[in-house]
Each structure stands twice: as structure tokens, then as C-alpha cells.
Structure 1
């Protein structure tokens, strides 16, 4: 695995692990001292859940990178109902943990079965939704991100919309490059590998990914996939 990625991974894991340890120690102190401050306890329990969710997403990227680099692990598609499949992905990934609210999910058109790789599609959706929340939740124009499925005659479409910080014009040309991060992300954590992996998995499905974004206004990601 790329040395630079290993270094980034180590750095990205260090911060959440420190937070988890600190919050766990505070909870242990409160419980052992019989100080039942439920507000403080809930706050630190939530921190632990959030950081664990972040680490789970990061480890998912490690698995994805391994899959990219392991020639013996390829595209393994199966016929599935995209609506039911994505509904289950959303329940597993976003009912608890990082995000306090669930993404708004809607379906347009007549659903049809599609040939998908469960691991890859799960990573595509989780990655796009995590980005939508991560880069919009603290923005002044924040509104709940949206996930839409659109079934059309020749393809089905995944659309993820947010009203976040957007992408600068200068950064757009590097969106899918390894370790590339937006110049306007500030202190928001990330490895700069998410979109590269997502694009690869989309291409494995013979699909296309489009990104439209305006700095300070938000981002729309469109993934077109054949049935």
C-alpha cells in the first residue's frame, strides 16, 4: 500500500482515537464518582459514537484501496433492487453515528433491477453522503443533504445534493487525483482519496460520475449507471 496513504491513515486515526479515549475516561470518572450529569454523559457518548463512525469510514477506504491494488479482487456484480439496497445502506450507515439527521431520500421513475457490486456500490453511496454532510453541516446556508434515485429508460441515476462550501474553480481539475483536497476545506479532515476510489468503482460498473459545484453554494454529484 502507498507509503503516503499509510502516513495519512496514521494521522487521521490518531485524532479520533485520542477523542474516544478522553471521552471514555470522562465517562468512567463520572460513573465511578456517582456524578450523574446526564447532559455531559450524553455529550461524550455522542462523541465516542461520532469518532467510531469516522474511523469506520476511514477503514472502509483502506479496504477500498486494498481492493483497487489487489488484482485477485475484482468486480463481483449481482442483480439487485437499487431502492431496497440503498435503503438498507442508509439504515446501516447513517441511523447512528456521525450524522445527527438522516439524508433525505427520494425515488423518481419506475424502479428496475440492476447489476451491481454490493461492496463497491455501498462505498460509492457512503462516500458521497459522507462528503455531503462533512462539507455542508457547518455552512451558513446548511440544509439537509439529499439523495435521489432516478430510473430512466437506458440507465439509472444516483444524485447527491448539498448546500455546503462547494468546490473552487481552481480545484475542480484535480477532483479525482490521489490525495487532492480542496483549498477551501480548512480544518475538515480527509485523505483526498475518496473521489478517486468512487470514480474507479463507478467505472467498474461501466458508469459515469459528474460533479457540478459552485463555491459557497453547494455541490451536486450525479452517477449514471447502466442496468
Structure 2
């Protein structure tokens, strides 16, 4: 795996993967959207409003997945100093933040007809996801505030690693505290409690969001690597002109 951490090798490999990832994301998103809108039946309690689930649930999963990936990449960057580790963590942050914001917005839109309110500060799931969004913003702010890239990477990594404690709080908040959210209905010991006609569109949308995540992550990694090359060339030109 270490050889794939080389930025030059990654750039070559990513050019091969990227078109397939884009095609997969488009196909899955098209199929998932069609099934979510026209195949899945209306919920007997929520009616058509429940279709927000097909955006909200995948967004929520990706918000947590993105942060875990960011934290793992940060750990790798600190311990093994893989060249791509810090890039991966930094590239993941805006994507994860966008998914988290989307989860918050769709959750509020879903909550109003379900619970009669867009927001409840006493709901542990809502507030912990909001904290996750602020953790993403804090991580990105470190990179913006510190010019020294090495120092910024180390401080940002600490933020990511410390903040990962929030992930199990988000996951198990509905079991640990009384919340407006229902218990898990997808990942359960006895299997999903969702009807297959509603479950399959949801699984396809989750897969589509994962594929989209890969597409954007590759694109952002390519930009970061190219940006570093440009900075290095500028420094070399400046040094030569100074001589």
C-alpha cells in the first residue's frame, strides 16, 4: 500500500479510476433517484414526505464516514507520514462538511411535518451532528489560518483525531438518550426493519453517494497535489532568480 501513497503514482492511477467512478456515480444516482420517486411506495404515516429519507440518510452516513476517513488519514499522517495521508484528510473535509450540512437541512425539513419542529436543541442526534459540522469547519479553518503546511497538517490532524469521539455519540445517541429520532432501522442485529420496496432505493442512493464521494475526493486530491507542485516550482524559480 505504501507505493500507492506516492503522489505521482496516485495521479497516474486516479486518471484511470476517475472516468469509471464518474460513470458509476451517474448510473447509481439516476437509478436511485428514479426508484426513490416513482418505485418506492408512499409511507402509510408520512405519505410522500418520507422520500426526503433518500437524501437525508445517505448524507448522514457520508457525513460520519467522511469524518472517520479524515481521522484515520490524520493518524496515518502523524505516525507513518505517508505523503498522501494529509492530502486525503484535507481533501475529505469540505466533502464531509457538505454532506453534514445537507443532512442537517434535510433532517430539519423532514422533522417539521414529523415532529412539528425544524429543530430541537434537546435532541442529542441533532446537536451532535451540528457539532460534527463545526468540527469540519474547525479542521478547515486550521489549514486556512496557518501558512506552514507541515505545522497546519499536524494541528489539523489533532483536531480530527480528538473530534472522532463525536461519531459514536451520533450513532448511539438514540439509544443512550430520549430523542425525537427513531432507533436504527437499517443496520440492526436482526436485519433492516424497512420494507424491501423502500429499502432497495435507499441502498442504491447510499451507494450513489459513496461513488460521488470518491469522484470528488479524487478531484480534490489531484488539485492539492498539482497545487503543491506549482508552489514547489515557484519556490525553485524564486531561488534561481535570487542567485
For normalisation by structure 1, the TM-score amounts to 0.30
Greater helix fraction, Structure 1 or Structure 2: 2
Larger RCO (alpha carbons 8 Å, 6+ apart): 2
Greater strand fraction, Structure 1 or Structure 2: 1
Structure with higher Rg: it is 2
For normalisation by structure 2, the TM-score amounts to 0.29
